[in-house]
Structure 1
Amino acid sequence: MDPIEQARTVYRENFTSISDYVDILATKGIDWGLIGPREKDRLWERHILNCAALADLIPDGATVIDVGSGAGLPGIPLAILRPDLEMTLLEPLLRRFNFLGETVEELRLEDRVQVVRGRAEDCDETYDVVTCRAVANVQKLLGWCTPLFYPNGRLVALKGDSVSQEISDASRRLEAGRLDAQVLQVRAHPEAEVTQALVITPIR
């Protein structure tokens, strides 16, 4: 089954919305420099299904903040897949903030997706879940994101092959903050590529 059909199975009645988002990424996303031209033919498997794989790690009805949202990944695919979520897209750069605002409006997600311009360290609110993708190493993420989910939430981050070393490098900070870090292999669809997710939760 090709990635588009996998996504159709995963998104079901929300497939039209996620397809519209892919069209935005493949046009305006590239024009605005948020998506590399080489990614155009890999948007479904490397971006949409990759992000959707995090959905099962987020509790029902959660408040979620997507830190450094950029082109809206993983926040927008998760918001489309999970209408029960209350999503905030946090982005400090004006061009990306404007892109997110226009995209959320075009996809008609304004009722449950908020776009905020700012940095994680300047945010005063707390959320059930913090998500991010390709933002920073674990050490920096802990400094920026822990106040956003502590003491009752979690961080769910898409990470690459260096995650084990990053966790090791951040071990003192994790221990001092009484935080547990796990790396999970997840898939949006049984035939999709494996996604590596870092989940950090407070130790109770």
Structure 2
Amino acid sequence: MEAAESPAVPPAGALELFGARAGLAERYAHHLATTGVEWGLIGPREVPRLWSRHILNSALAAELLSPGDDVGDVGSGAGLPGIPLALMVPEASFALIEPMERRVDWLTMVVHDLGLENVRIVRGRVEDLADDEVFTAVTARAVKALKVLVEWCAPVLAPDGRLLALKGERAQQEMAEAAKAIRRLRLSPAVLHTLSSPLVETPTRVVEVVRP
């Protein structure tokens, strides 16, 4: 039987993906597998697949970001996809948006330990931030259905800003269900990006909605 994937030893090729920040990616994985489980942010059954299902799945979306982006990561929770993306695109700035105090405390601890100068923590709900924040990109993973996300995130998107929602196999169905809300909010029609890599068994599906 094949040995379970260890969170301390990423699959072959993963370190090259993160380049000079590979060590920080490993340290983040260690946090997820230890304090992340202890604090209830990651289920114990997820530990064997932290890299393939969570860290790398998030990191692949980096090709949709630009170095100058100001990114809001909605419902950041355990820092997914925000922290892997911040490691992949160090020239972009990231706000990890999370309303729950325990998760905010954990994110603060991890970001401080990793020394991520391009990351800040915002405690709150994105739908309450319209008067205080504006982003060129907003990311979300396992937060809400797309039709809800567009309602929440449209007010904090800058002109030409885009919502990048990491979705599963129901991505196209969610796009259809969100079409009416997208038109009402005068956003561009949703586009599905399927990002593949030999490092992951399942491609990363990202639904992009742009505010013209």
Tell me how far apart the structure 2 counterparts of residues 72 and 191 of structure 1 sit (CA, whole Å): 20
CA contact (8 A) 2:146 2:165 kept: no
Unaligned runs of 5+ in 2: none
Alignment of 1:152-163 (within 5 A): 152-163=160-171
Change (3 A) 1:96 1:200: same
Unaligned runs of 5+ in 1: none
Q: Is 2:106 aligned against 1:99?
A: yes
- Number of aligned residues: 200
Corresponding letter in the other structure for 1:174: I
Question: Structure 1 residue 191: deviation in Å?
Answer: 4.1
Change (3 A) 1:62 1:150: closer
Over the aligned positions, Cα root-mean-square deviation in angstroms equals 1.4
Q: What residue in structure 2 maps to residue 113 of structure 1? A: 119
Which of 14, 34, 38 is matched with 2:41 structurally?
Answer: 34
Relative contact order, higher structure (CA 8 A, sep 6+) = 1
- Normalising by structure 1, what TM-score? 0.93
Alignment of 1:1-204 (within 5 A): 4-109=11-116, 111-123=117-129, 124=131, 125-179=133-187, 180-187=189-196, 189-193=197-201, 194-202=203-211, 204=212
Corresponding letter in the other structure for 2:143: V
65-74 vs 149-158, which deviates more?
149-158
CA contact (8 A) 1:6 1:192 kept: no
Equivalent position SS for 2:34: helix
Tell me how far apart the structure 2 counterparts of residues 78 and 165 of structure 1 sit (CA, whole Å): 26
Tell me how far apart the structure 1 counterparts of residues 171 and 158 of structure 2 sit (CA, whole Å): 21
Deviation above 2 Å: which 4+ runs of structure 1? Answer: 189-193
Tell me how far apart the structure 2 counterparts of residues 4 and 97 of structure 1 sit (CA, whole Å): 29
Corresponding letter in the other structure for 2:204: T
111-120 vs 159-168, which deviates more?
159-168
- Normalising by structure 2, what TM-score? 0.90
Change (3 A) 1:191 1:19: closer
19-28 vs 162-171, which deviates more?
162-171
Tell me how far apart the structure 2 counterparts of residues 191 and 4 of structure 1 sit (CA, whole Å): 7
